[in-house]
Chain A
Amino acid sequence: MSHDYDHHHHDHDHSELSETELRVRALETILTEKGYVEPAALDAIIQAYETRIGPHNGARVVAKAWTDPAFKKALLEDGSKAIGTLGHVSRVGDHLVVVENTPQRHNMVVCTLCSCYPWEMLGLPPVWYKAAPYRSRAVKDPRGVLADFDVALPKDMEIRVWDSTAETRFLVLPMRPVGTEGWSEEQLAELVTRDSMIGTGFPKTPGAPS
Protein backbone atom coordinates (compact mmCIF):
# COMPACT_ATOMS: atom_id res chain seq x y z
CA MET A 1 0.00 0.00 0.00
CA SER A 2 2.61 2.54 1.01
CA HIS A 3 4.64 1.60 -2.04
CA ASP A 4 1.81 2.36 -4.38
CA TYR A 5 1.06 5.65 -2.71
CA ASP A 6 4.72 6.70 -2.79
CA HIS A 7 4.85 5.86 -6.45
CA HIS A 8 2.18 8.42 -7.16
CA HIS A 9 3.95 11.03 -5.11
CA HIS A 10 7.01 10.58 -7.31
CA ASP A 11 4.99 10.89 -10.48
CA HIS A 12 3.62 14.25 -9.47
CA ASP A 13 6.35 15.62 -7.26
CA HIS A 14 6.64 18.89 -9.08
CA SER A 15 8.00 21.92 -7.32
CA GLU A 16 5.08 24.01 -8.41
CA LEU A 17 1.74 22.73 -7.23
CA SER A 18 -1.36 23.75 -9.10
CA GLU A 19 -4.06 25.70 -7.35
CA THR A 20 -6.26 22.62 -7.38
CA GLU A 21 -3.56 20.46 -5.83
CA LEU A 22 -3.05 23.00 -3.07
CA ARG A 23 -6.77 23.22 -2.37
CA VAL A 24 -7.15 19.44 -2.29
CA ARG A 25 -4.22 19.12 0.11
CA ALA A 26 -5.68 21.85 2.30
CA LEU A 27 -9.03 20.11 2.46
CA GLU A 28 -7.43 16.81 3.43
CA THR A 29 -5.44 18.59 6.14
CA ILE A 30 -8.61 20.12 7.55
CA LEU A 31 -10.56 16.85 7.45
CA THR A 32 -7.68 15.09 9.18
CA GLU A 33 -7.15 17.76 11.83
CA LYS A 34 -10.84 17.77 12.64
CA GLY A 35 -10.80 14.04 13.16
CA TYR A 36 -13.08 13.15 10.27
CA VAL A 37 -10.70 10.94 8.30
CA GLU A 38 -7.40 9.14 8.75
CA PRO A 39 -5.07 9.62 5.76
CA ALA A 40 -4.03 5.96 5.90
CA ALA A 41 -7.67 4.99 5.35
CA LEU A 42 -7.77 7.24 2.27
CA ASP A 43 -4.59 5.55 1.02
CA ALA A 44 -6.28 2.17 1.45
CA ILE A 45 -9.37 3.26 -0.51
CA ILE A 46 -7.19 4.46 -3.37
CA GLN A 47 -5.14 1.31 -3.40
CA ALA A 48 -8.28 -0.82 -3.49
CA TYR A 49 -9.68 1.15 -6.43
CA GLU A 50 -6.39 0.92 -8.28
CA THR A 51 -5.88 -2.80 -7.82
CA ARG A 52 -9.00 -4.72 -6.83
CA ILE A 53 -11.58 -3.37 -9.20
CA GLY A 54 -11.17 -3.21 -12.94
CA PRO A 55 -12.39 -4.72 -16.21
CA HIS A 56 -10.72 -8.02 -15.32
CA ASN A 57 -13.69 -8.69 -13.04
CA GLY A 58 -16.23 -8.13 -15.80
CA ALA A 59 -14.11 -10.12 -18.27
CA ARG A 60 -14.23 -13.21 -16.06
CA VAL A 61 -18.00 -12.96 -15.83
CA VAL A 62 -18.36 -12.61 -19.59
CA ALA A 63 -15.99 -15.50 -20.29
CA LYS A 64 -17.90 -17.72 -17.90
CA ALA A 65 -21.18 -16.79 -19.56
CA TRP A 66 -19.65 -17.75 -22.93
CA THR A 67 -18.73 -21.21 -21.72
CA ASP A 68 -21.45 -22.08 -19.21
CA PRO A 69 -25.03 -21.87 -20.54
CA ALA A 70 -26.59 -22.34 -17.11
CA PHE A 71 -24.52 -19.47 -15.71
CA LYS A 72 -25.40 -17.30 -18.68
CA LYS A 73 -29.10 -17.92 -18.15
CA ALA A 74 -28.81 -17.08 -14.45
CA LEU A 75 -26.72 -14.00 -15.26
CA LEU A 76 -29.33 -12.59 -17.62
CA GLU A 77 -32.09 -13.31 -15.13
CA ASP A 78 -30.39 -11.73 -12.12
CA GLY A 79 -26.90 -10.37 -12.65
CA SER A 80 -26.14 -9.60 -9.02
CA LYS A 81 -27.25 -13.01 -7.82
CA ALA A 82 -25.36 -14.94 -10.49
CA ILE A 83 -22.14 -12.98 -9.98
CA GLY A 84 -22.54 -13.43 -6.24
CA THR A 85 -22.07 -17.16 -6.75
CA LEU A 86 -18.54 -16.52 -8.09
CA GLY A 87 -16.62 -15.96 -4.92
CA HIS A 88 -13.56 -14.58 -6.64
CA VAL A 89 -15.23 -11.59 -8.25
CA SER A 90 -15.53 -8.35 -6.32
CA ARG A 91 -18.82 -7.71 -4.58
CA VAL A 92 -21.15 -6.25 -7.08
CA GLY A 93 -24.05 -4.87 -5.10
CA ASP A 94 -27.68 -5.68 -5.57
CA HIS A 95 -28.67 -3.93 -8.74
CA LEU A 96 -26.61 -5.19 -11.66
CA VAL A 97 -28.45 -5.92 -14.90
CA VAL A 98 -26.62 -7.81 -17.65
CA VAL A 99 -27.82 -7.15 -21.20
CA GLU A 100 -26.93 -9.46 -24.06
CA ASN A 101 -25.75 -8.46 -27.50
CA THR A 102 -27.20 -10.60 -30.28
CA PRO A 103 -26.96 -10.56 -34.07
CA GLN A 104 -30.18 -8.50 -33.96
CA ARG A 105 -29.40 -6.09 -31.13
CA HIS A 106 -26.43 -4.10 -29.86
CA ASN A 107 -26.51 -2.64 -26.35
CA MET A 108 -24.70 0.47 -25.18
CA VAL A 109 -24.61 2.01 -21.70
CA VAL A 110 -24.45 5.69 -20.76
CA CYS A 111 -25.19 7.97 -17.83
CA THR A 112 -26.43 11.22 -19.34
CA LEU A 113 -26.84 12.90 -15.94
CA CYS A 114 -23.44 12.08 -14.49
CA SER A 115 -21.27 8.97 -14.48
CA CYS A 116 -23.13 5.91 -13.16
CA TYR A 117 -21.09 2.85 -14.12
CA PRO A 118 -20.61 -0.69 -12.79
CA TRP A 119 -17.38 0.03 -10.85
CA GLU A 120 -17.19 -3.45 -9.38
CA MET A 121 -17.21 -5.03 -12.83
CA LEU A 122 -15.27 -2.45 -14.87
CA GLY A 123 -13.29 -0.28 -12.43
CA LEU A 124 -13.57 3.49 -12.33
CA PRO A 125 -15.01 4.91 -15.55
CA PRO A 126 -12.70 6.39 -18.21
CA VAL A 127 -12.74 10.14 -18.74
CA TRP A 128 -14.66 9.93 -22.00
CA TYR A 129 -17.53 8.10 -20.29
CA LYS A 130 -17.93 10.99 -17.85
CA ALA A 131 -17.44 13.76 -20.40
CA ALA A 132 -19.97 15.84 -22.33
CA PRO A 133 -19.44 14.43 -25.85
CA TYR A 134 -20.40 10.87 -24.86
CA ARG A 135 -23.11 11.81 -22.38
CA SER A 136 -24.82 14.18 -24.81
CA ARG A 137 -24.69 12.11 -27.99
CA ALA A 138 -25.03 8.48 -26.88
CA VAL A 139 -28.81 8.67 -26.56
CA LYS A 140 -29.39 10.62 -29.78
CA ASP A 141 -26.71 9.52 -32.22
CA PRO A 142 -25.19 6.28 -30.95
CA ARG A 143 -23.93 5.29 -34.40
CA GLY A 144 -22.04 8.56 -34.58
CA VAL A 145 -20.55 7.87 -31.17
CA LEU A 146 -19.57 4.36 -32.22
CA ALA A 147 -17.84 5.82 -35.27
CA ASP A 148 -15.62 7.78 -32.87
CA PHE A 149 -14.54 4.36 -31.56
CA ASP A 150 -14.11 3.04 -35.12
CA VAL A 151 -17.05 0.73 -34.55
CA ALA A 152 -19.69 0.23 -37.22
CA LEU A 153 -22.85 -1.85 -36.89
CA PRO A 154 -24.99 -3.33 -39.65
CA LYS A 155 -27.52 -0.73 -40.81
CA ASP A 156 -30.59 -2.65 -39.72
CA MET A 157 -29.28 -3.80 -36.34
CA GLU A 158 -31.27 -2.44 -33.39
CA ILE A 159 -29.30 -0.24 -31.03
CA ARG A 160 -30.47 -0.15 -27.47
CA VAL A 161 -29.03 2.56 -25.29
CA TRP A 162 -29.42 2.15 -21.52
CA ASP A 163 -29.32 5.47 -19.69
CA SER A 164 -28.29 4.65 -16.10
CA THR A 165 -30.52 7.11 -14.31
CA ALA A 166 -30.93 5.23 -11.01
CA GLU A 167 -28.84 2.88 -8.86
CA THR A 168 -29.27 0.08 -11.36
CA ARG A 169 -26.01 -0.68 -13.16
CA PHE A 170 -25.71 -2.23 -16.61
CA LEU A 171 -23.10 -4.57 -18.04
CA VAL A 172 -23.12 -5.56 -21.71
CA LEU A 173 -22.57 -9.23 -22.49
CA PRO A 174 -20.86 -9.06 -25.89
CA MET A 175 -21.11 -11.80 -28.48
CA ARG A 176 -18.43 -14.47 -28.29
CA PRO A 177 -15.89 -14.02 -31.10
CA VAL A 178 -15.90 -16.63 -33.83
CA GLY A 179 -12.89 -18.91 -33.97
CA THR A 180 -12.75 -19.48 -30.21
CA GLU A 181 -14.29 -22.96 -30.12
CA GLY A 182 -12.77 -25.01 -27.33
CA TRP A 183 -11.08 -22.06 -25.66
CA SER A 184 -10.86 -22.02 -21.87
CA GLU A 185 -12.51 -19.35 -19.73
CA GLU A 186 -9.08 -17.88 -18.99
CA GLN A 187 -8.23 -17.62 -22.70
CA LEU A 188 -11.60 -16.10 -23.51
CA ALA A 189 -11.35 -13.55 -20.69
CA GLU A 190 -8.24 -12.16 -22.41
CA LEU A 191 -10.40 -11.21 -25.40
CA VAL A 192 -12.95 -9.25 -23.39
CA THR A 193 -12.26 -5.51 -23.46
CA ARG A 194 -13.69 -2.88 -21.16
CA ASP A 195 -15.37 -1.10 -24.07
CA SER A 196 -17.03 -4.32 -25.21
CA MET A 197 -18.78 -4.43 -21.83
CA ILE A 198 -19.92 -0.79 -22.15
CA GLY A 199 -21.07 -1.36 -25.72
CA THR A 200 -18.61 0.99 -27.44
CA GLY A 201 -16.43 -1.83 -28.71
CA PHE A 202 -16.22 -5.51 -29.53
CA PRO A 203 -14.14 -8.23 -27.93
CA LYS A 204 -10.73 -8.80 -29.49
CA THR A 205 -10.58 -11.21 -32.39
CA PRO A 206 -8.37 -14.28 -32.02
CA GLY A 207 -5.01 -13.69 -33.63
CA ALA A 208 -5.55 -9.99 -34.28
CA PRO A 209 -3.18 -7.45 -32.74
CA SER A 210 -4.71 -6.01 -29.58
Chain B
Amino acid sequence: MNGVHDMGGMDGFGKVEPEPNEPTFHAEWESRVLAMVRAMGAAGAFNIDTSRFYRETLPPHVYLSSSYYKKWFLGLEEMLVEKGYLTRDEVAAGHAMQPGKALKHGTFDLANVERVMVRGKFARPAPAPARFKIGDRVRAKNIHPATHTRLPHYVRGHVGVVELNHGCHVFPDSAAMELGENPQWLYTVVFDGRDLWGEDGDPTLKVSIDAFEPYLDPA
Protein backbone atom coordinates (compact mmCIF):
# COMPACT_ATOMS: atom_id res chain seq x y z
CA MET B 1 0.00 0.00 0.00
CA ASN B 2 1.10 3.56 -0.62
CA GLY B 3 1.43 4.35 3.07
CA VAL B 4 3.62 6.65 5.09
CA HIS B 5 5.72 3.62 6.07
CA ASP B 6 7.17 3.62 2.52
CA MET B 7 9.63 6.36 3.40
CA GLY B 8 12.51 5.96 0.97
CA GLY B 9 13.32 9.33 -0.59
CA MET B 10 10.90 11.45 1.47
CA ASP B 11 12.18 14.82 2.65
CA GLY B 12 11.63 16.81 5.78
CA PHE B 13 12.18 14.33 8.60
CA GLY B 14 15.32 16.05 9.77
CA LYS B 15 18.64 14.79 11.01
CA VAL B 16 19.46 11.28 12.11
CA GLU B 17 20.04 11.38 15.83
CA PRO B 18 22.18 8.53 17.13
CA GLU B 19 21.91 7.99 20.89
CA PRO B 20 25.20 7.20 22.64
CA ASN B 21 25.11 4.04 24.74
CA GLU B 22 21.53 3.35 23.77
CA PRO B 23 19.82 0.74 25.97
CA THR B 24 18.15 -2.31 24.38
CA PHE B 25 14.79 -0.99 25.59
CA HIS B 26 13.87 2.51 26.74
CA ALA B 27 11.09 1.30 29.04
CA GLU B 28 10.04 -2.06 30.38
CA TRP B 29 6.77 -2.05 28.41
CA GLU B 30 8.74 -2.00 25.15
CA SER B 31 10.31 -5.31 26.07
CA ARG B 32 6.91 -6.82 26.98
CA VAL B 33 5.52 -5.73 23.59
CA LEU B 34 8.43 -7.28 21.72
CA ALA B 35 8.04 -10.52 23.67
CA MET B 36 4.26 -10.67 23.14
CA VAL B 37 4.62 -10.15 19.40
CA ARG B 38 7.29 -12.83 19.13
CA ALA B 39 5.35 -15.23 21.35
CA MET B 40 1.97 -14.85 19.65
CA GLY B 41 3.59 -15.16 16.24
CA ALA B 42 5.41 -18.33 17.29
CA ALA B 43 2.17 -19.70 18.76
CA GLY B 44 0.63 -19.37 15.32
CA ALA B 45 -1.75 -16.42 15.80
CA PHE B 46 -0.34 -14.65 12.73
CA ASN B 47 2.58 -14.69 10.32
CA ILE B 48 5.31 -12.05 10.28
CA ASP B 49 4.07 -10.41 7.08
CA THR B 50 0.57 -10.01 8.45
CA SER B 51 1.99 -8.34 11.56
CA ARG B 52 3.95 -5.92 9.34
CA PHE B 53 0.81 -5.11 7.37
CA TYR B 54 -1.12 -4.24 10.54
CA ARG B 55 1.56 -1.73 11.48
CA GLU B 56 1.44 -0.21 8.00
CA THR B 57 -2.33 0.22 8.16
CA LEU B 58 -2.19 2.37 11.28
CA PRO B 59 -3.58 5.80 10.37
CA PRO B 60 -0.77 7.97 8.97
CA HIS B 61 -0.83 10.46 11.86
CA VAL B 62 -0.64 7.60 14.36
CA TYR B 63 2.15 5.87 12.47
CA LEU B 64 4.24 9.03 12.29
CA SER B 65 3.72 10.11 15.89
CA SER B 66 4.12 6.74 17.61
CA SER B 67 7.38 5.26 18.82
CA TYR B 68 8.50 2.01 17.24
CA TYR B 69 7.22 -0.30 19.96
CA LYS B 70 4.02 1.71 20.28
CA LYS B 71 3.38 0.86 16.65
CA TRP B 72 4.11 -2.77 17.41
CA PHE B 73 1.65 -2.65 20.31
CA LEU B 74 -1.13 -0.96 18.35
CA GLY B 75 -0.69 -3.36 15.44
CA LEU B 76 -0.66 -6.38 17.75
CA GLU B 77 -3.79 -5.40 19.65
CA GLU B 78 -5.77 -4.65 16.50
CA MET B 79 -4.61 -7.84 14.78
CA LEU B 80 -5.52 -10.05 17.73
CA VAL B 81 -8.97 -8.49 17.93
CA GLU B 82 -9.62 -8.80 14.20
CA LYS B 83 -8.47 -12.41 14.17
CA GLY B 84 -10.74 -13.28 17.07
CA TYR B 85 -8.12 -13.97 19.73
CA LEU B 86 -9.61 -11.32 22.01
CA THR B 87 -12.51 -8.91 21.99
CA ARG B 88 -12.74 -5.14 22.24
CA ASP B 89 -14.69 -5.61 25.48
CA GLU B 90 -11.78 -7.56 26.92
CA VAL B 91 -9.33 -4.86 25.83
CA ALA B 92 -11.50 -2.23 27.51
CA ALA B 93 -11.88 -4.31 30.68
CA GLY B 94 -8.23 -5.36 30.84
CA HIS B 95 -9.26 -8.93 31.59
CA ALA B 96 -10.33 -12.05 29.76
CA MET B 97 -14.10 -12.45 29.60
CA GLN B 98 -14.32 -15.63 27.58
CA PRO B 99 -12.12 -18.67 26.90
CA GLY B 100 -9.25 -18.32 24.43
CA LYS B 101 -9.34 -19.42 20.80
CA ALA B 102 -7.19 -22.43 19.93
CA LEU B 103 -3.69 -21.51 18.78
CA LYS B 104 -2.05 -23.51 16.01
CA HIS B 105 1.00 -24.27 18.16
CA GLY B 106 -0.62 -24.08 21.59
CA THR B 107 0.26 -21.96 24.60
CA PHE B 108 3.58 -20.17 24.29
CA ASP B 109 5.54 -21.49 27.26
CA LEU B 110 9.18 -21.77 28.26
CA ALA B 111 9.69 -24.82 26.06
CA ASN B 112 9.00 -22.62 23.01
CA VAL B 113 11.46 -19.83 23.74
CA GLU B 114 14.35 -21.22 21.71
CA ARG B 115 12.15 -21.33 18.63
CA VAL B 116 11.88 -17.57 18.52
CA MET B 117 15.63 -17.12 18.85
CA VAL B 118 16.30 -18.69 15.45
CA ARG B 119 15.34 -16.72 12.41
CA GLY B 120 12.64 -18.25 10.31
CA LYS B 121 13.38 -20.02 7.07
CA PHE B 122 11.75 -18.39 4.08
CA ALA B 123 13.32 -20.31 1.20
CA ARG B 124 10.96 -22.64 -0.65
CA PRO B 125 11.25 -25.09 -3.56
CA ALA B 126 10.94 -23.34 -6.90
CA PRO B 127 7.58 -23.80 -8.61
CA ALA B 128 9.08 -22.66 -11.94
CA PRO B 129 12.48 -21.74 -13.39
CA ALA B 130 13.81 -18.25 -12.67
CA ARG B 131 12.75 -15.73 -15.29
CA PHE B 132 15.83 -13.53 -14.84
CA LYS B 133 19.55 -14.20 -14.58
CA ILE B 134 22.32 -12.19 -13.03
CA GLY B 135 23.21 -9.22 -15.23
CA ASP B 136 19.73 -8.89 -16.76
CA ARG B 137 18.24 -5.42 -17.03
CA VAL B 138 14.82 -5.28 -15.43
CA ARG B 139 12.21 -2.60 -14.88
CA ALA B 140 10.40 -2.38 -11.56
CA LYS B 141 6.72 -2.43 -12.38
CA ASN B 142 4.60 0.63 -11.88
CA ILE B 143 2.15 -1.06 -9.53
CA HIS B 144 0.27 0.33 -6.54
CA PRO B 145 -1.37 -2.51 -4.64
CA ALA B 146 -3.54 -1.31 -1.77
CA THR B 147 -2.35 -4.29 0.28
CA HIS B 148 1.10 -5.27 1.61
CA THR B 149 3.98 -5.11 -0.82
CA ARG B 150 7.77 -4.94 -0.59
CA LEU B 151 8.24 -2.94 -3.73
CA PRO B 152 9.10 0.53 -2.43
CA HIS B 153 7.58 3.37 -4.41
CA TYR B 154 10.91 5.05 -5.16
CA VAL B 155 12.02 2.33 -7.60
CA ARG B 156 8.73 1.83 -9.41
CA GLY B 157 9.09 2.37 -13.14
CA HIS B 158 12.90 2.45 -12.96
CA VAL B 159 15.38 0.15 -14.67
CA GLY B 160 17.98 -1.75 -12.67
CA VAL B 161 20.29 -4.73 -13.03
CA VAL B 162 19.89 -8.15 -11.40
CA GLU B 163 22.91 -8.66 -9.19
CA LEU B 164 22.05 -11.62 -6.93
CA ASN B 165 19.57 -14.46 -7.06
CA HIS B 166 18.47 -15.56 -3.57
CA GLY B 167 16.32 -18.47 -4.70
CA CYS B 168 12.58 -18.80 -4.13
CA HIS B 169 11.11 -17.27 -0.99
CA VAL B 170 7.70 -16.90 0.64
CA PHE B 171 5.97 -14.01 -1.15
CA PRO B 172 5.07 -11.43 1.52
CA ASP B 173 2.38 -9.84 -0.64
CA SER B 174 0.44 -13.11 -0.47
CA ALA B 175 1.42 -14.22 3.02
CA ALA B 176 0.42 -10.89 4.60
CA MET B 177 -3.11 -11.33 3.30
CA GLU B 178 -3.15 -14.99 4.42
CA LEU B 179 -3.40 -16.16 0.83
CA GLY B 180 -0.66 -18.76 1.21
CA GLU B 181 3.10 -18.68 0.73
CA ASN B 182 3.00 -18.43 -3.08
CA PRO B 183 6.84 -18.72 -3.35
CA GLN B 184 8.57 -16.41 -5.83
CA TRP B 185 12.11 -15.91 -7.04
CA LEU B 186 13.91 -13.19 -5.13
CA TYR B 187 16.65 -11.03 -6.64
CA THR B 188 18.86 -8.18 -5.53
CA VAL B 189 18.31 -5.49 -8.17
CA VAL B 190 20.64 -2.50 -8.22
CA PHE B 191 19.68 0.95 -9.49
CA ASP B 192 21.83 3.91 -10.38
CA GLY B 193 21.30 6.83 -8.01
CA ARG B 194 20.78 9.28 -10.86
CA ASP B 195 18.15 7.07 -12.46
CA LEU B 196 16.21 7.18 -9.20
CA TRP B 197 16.77 10.78 -8.15
CA GLY B 198 17.51 12.64 -11.35
CA GLU B 199 20.57 14.50 -12.50
CA ASP B 200 21.00 16.22 -9.14
CA GLY B 201 21.35 12.83 -7.49
CA ASP B 202 24.66 11.67 -6.02
CA PRO B 203 26.67 10.32 -9.00
CA THR B 204 28.49 7.85 -6.74
CA LEU B 205 25.28 6.29 -5.41
CA LYS B 206 23.88 2.89 -6.21
CA VAL B 207 20.81 1.57 -4.40
CA SER B 208 19.58 -1.99 -4.36
CA ILE B 209 16.36 -3.57 -3.24
CA ASP B 210 15.47 -7.22 -2.90
CA ALA B 211 12.75 -7.68 -5.49
CA PHE B 212 10.40 -10.60 -5.93
CA GLU B 213 9.95 -11.73 -9.52
CA PRO B 214 6.35 -10.49 -9.87
CA TYR B 215 7.65 -6.95 -9.30
CA LEU B 216 9.85 -7.06 -12.39
CA ASP B 217 9.55 -6.85 -16.16
CA PRO B 218 12.40 -7.39 -18.64
CA ALA B 219 13.93 -4.10 -19.77
Q: Name the residue of chain B whose CB is nearest to the CB of A94.
A: B121
Shortest beta-carbon distance from B121 to chain A in Å: 5
- Determine if A119 and B119 form an interchain contact, defined as CB atoms under 8 angstroms apart: yes
Shortest beta-carbon distance from B110 to chain A in Å: 5
Kindly supply a per-residue 1/0 record for chain B positions 119-154, scoring 1 wherever the CB is within 8 Å of any chain A CB and 0 otherwise.
111110000000000000000000000000011101
Is B181 engaged at the interface, CB distance under 8 Å to the other chain?
no
Shortest beta-carbon distance from A117 to chain B in Å: 11
With contact pairs A8-B28, A30-B91, A128-B17 given, residues A42 and B123 touching in the complex (Cβ less than 8 Å)? no
Is A74 engaged at the interface, CB distance under 8 Å to the other chain?
no
Is B22 engaged at the interface, CB distance under 8 Å to the other chain?
yes
The interface residues of chain A lying within 8 Å CB-to-CB of B120 are: 93, 167
Query: How far apart sit A114 and B70, CA to CA, in the bound complex (Å)?
Result: 14
Query: How far apart sit A18 and B36, CA to CA, in the bound complex (Å)?
Result: 19
Contacting residue for B14 out of A50, A133, A159, CB 8 A: A133
Contacting residue for A45 out of B68, B116, B172, CB 8 A: B116
With contact pairs A44-B113, A148-B17 given, residues A160 and B208 touching in the complex (Cβ less than 8 Å)? yes
The interface residues of chain B lying within 8 Å CB-to-CB of A159 are: 202, 204-206
The interface residues of chain A lying within 8 Å CB-to-CB of B110 are: 38, 40-41, 44
Is A97 engaged at the interface, CB distance under 8 Å to the other chain?
yes
The interface residues of chain A lying within 8 Å CB-to-CB of B70 are: 20
Is A24 engaged at the interface, CB distance under 8 Å to the other chain?
yes
Q: Name the residue of chain A whose CB is nearest to the CB of B112.
A: A41
The interface residues of chain B lying within 8 Å CB-to-CB of A97 are: 164, 188
With contact pairs A21-B29, A30-B91, A97-B164 given, residues A35 and B107 touching in the complex (Cβ less than 8 Å)? yes
Kindly supply a per-residue 1/0 record for chain B positions 65-89, scoring 1 wherever the CB is within 8 Å of any chain A CB and 0 otherwise.
0011010010011001000011000
Kindly supply a per-residue 1/0 record for chain B positions 4-29, scoring 1 wherever the CB is within 8 Å of any chain A CB and 0 otherwise.
01111111011111110010111111
- Determine if A50 and B13 form an interchain contact, defined as CB atoms under 8 angstroms apart: no
Contacting residue for A166 out of B10, B38, B150, CB 8 A: B150
- Determine if A136 and B11 form an interchain contact, defined as CB atoms under 8 angstroms apart: yes
Shortest beta-carbon distance from A78 to chain B in Å: 11
Contacting residue for B109 out of A38, A124, A142, A169, CB 8 A: A38
Which residues 157-186 in A have Cβ within 8 Å of B in the complex? 157-169
- Determine if B8 and A37 form an interchain contact, defined as CB atoms under 8 angstroms apart: no
The interface residues of chain A lying within 8 Å CB-to-CB of B211 are: 165
- Determine if A157 and B24 form an interchain contact, defined as CB atoms under 8 angstroms apart: no
- Determine if B5 and A27 form an interchain contact, defined as CB atoms under 8 angstroms apart: no
Which residues 186-219 in B have Cβ within 8 Å of A in the complex? 186, 188, 190, 196-197, 201-202, 204-212
Is B62 engaged at the interface, CB distance under 8 Å to the other chain?
no
Query: How far apart sit A26 and B172, CA to CA, in the bound complex (Å)?
Result: 31
Query: How far apart sit A155 and B205, CA to CA, in the bound complex (Å)?
Result: 11
- 4 additional contacts (CB under 8 A) given A120-B119, A157-B204, A166-B210: A45-B38, A114-B55, A148-B16, A160-B207
Give me the interface of B with A, judged by CB distance under 8 Å: 5-11, 13-19, 22, 24-29, 31-36, 38-40, 43, 45, 52, 55, 64, 67-68, 70, 73, 76-77, 80, 85-86, 90-91, 94-96, 99-100, 103, 107-110, 112-113, 116-123, 150-152, 154, 164, 166, 169-170, 172, 186, 188, 190, 196-197, 201-202, 204-212
Top 9 closest pairs, chain A to chain B, by CB: A93-B119, A34-B100, A112-B8, A26-B94, A33-B96, A166-B210, A42-B35, A132-B13, A136-B10
User: Can you identify 29 A-B contacts, CB atoms within 8 angstroms?
Assistant: A9-B28, A20-B70, A27-B73, A29-B94, A30-B86, A37-B39, A37-B43, A37-B109, A42-B35, A44-B110, A45-B116, A49-B24, A53-B117, A91-B118, A95-B166, A113-B152, A123-B24, A126-B19, A128-B16, A128-B18, A133-B16, A133-B17, A139-B207, A141-B202, A159-B202, A161-B205, A163-B152, A164-B210, A165-B210
